[in-house]
Amino acid sequence: MAGRSAILSQDLARYVALQRLLGFKFRIQHILLRGFVAFAEEHGDGQVKNARALAWAAHAPSPEQRRMPRGNLGGSSPPRLSRYTLGIEA
């Protein structure tokens, strides 16, 4: 299962490369997405799952960050990554 979940890391690398190619610095977003991908891979996920994204968001370090919609971070949300990779699973 480790090989299957590593697909998310590969997808993230391609997604970040594309964002940077388009001219975005994508530093903070990369850090946040890397954290999500690590969390998802620890649970054996090979695709972005809605439930896992919500569980990851609930683990934000502060109440303010937990309330902040992560979709407002310039394309760094797990749903945007999932649309990029087309590995969407409910």
pLDDT band at 9 (very low <50, low <70, confident <90, very high): very high
Whole-model pTM: value is 0.68
Contacts by 80-87 with C-beta closer than 8 Å and gap 24+? 81/11, 81/12, 81/15, 81/33, 81/36, 81/48, 82/47, 82/48, 84/11, 84/15, 84/18, 85/8, 85/11, 85/15, 85/47, 85/48, 87/7, 87/8, 87/11, 87/46, 87/47, 87/48
SS3 68: coil
Tens-place pLDDT, residues 14-68: 999 999 999 999 898 898 889 999 999 999 998 888 899 889 888 877 666 555 5
Q: What is the pLDDT of residue 54?
A: 87
Q: What is the pLDDT of residue 66?
A: 55
